Amino acid sequence: KQEVTQIPAALSVPEGENLVLNCSFTDSAIYNLQWFRQDPGKGLTSLLLIQSSQREQTSGRLNASLDKSSGRSTLYIAASQPGDSATYLCAVSGNQFYFGTGTSLTVIP
């Protein structure tokens, strides 16, 4: 069974810092990997989707990479802002969707 792990579980950084969130998965047979943002008590906002044939995707200050062979993905956030504070979830799509444990990010003004 696919297992998805995210490190760190929580992260607190001062505003303006660049940061990296990590996601690892045990089964490399995936169709795609997706990063989501979840604000407290809210649903999921899709940030980036990387198809299995791709290495990375970029959107604004966000860059996500995928190394399928090693079972790893990173989400890079440049010049963090207080509005980036949220929980970030990665999910891999195989026969079904498997979610990671999440990283709770706090950006301190």
Nearest alpha-carbon partner for 62 in 50, 70, 72: 50
Would you say 12 or 18 has its CB closer to other proteins?
12
Q: Name the one range near other proteins by CB under 8 A: 15-23, 43-51, 68-76, 78-86.
A: 43-51
Smallest gap from residue 10 Cβ to other proteins (A): 10
Nearest alpha-carbon partner for 37 in 64, 13, 15, 17: 64
Options 71, 100, 105, 107; binder of other proteins; rule CB under 8 A: 100
Options 44, 62, 63, 74; binder of other proteins; rule CB under 8 A: 44
What is the phi-psi region of residue 3: left when phi exceeds 0, alpha when psi lies from -120 to 50, beta otherwise?
Answer: beta
What is the four-CA torsion angle of 36, 40, 41, 46, rounded to 10 degrees? -10
> Quick one: tokens of 108?
């301190």
Q: In the range 68-97, which residues lie near other proteins by CB under 8 A?
A: 89, 91, 93, 96-97
Count of residues of this chain found to bind other proteins when the rule CB under 8 A is applied: 20
The answer to whether residues 77 and 27 touch, using CB atoms and an 8 Å cutoff, is: no
Q: What is the contact surface with other proteins in residues (CB under 8 A)? A: 31-32, 34, 36, 41-44, 46, 49, 51, 89, 91, 93, 96-97, 99-102
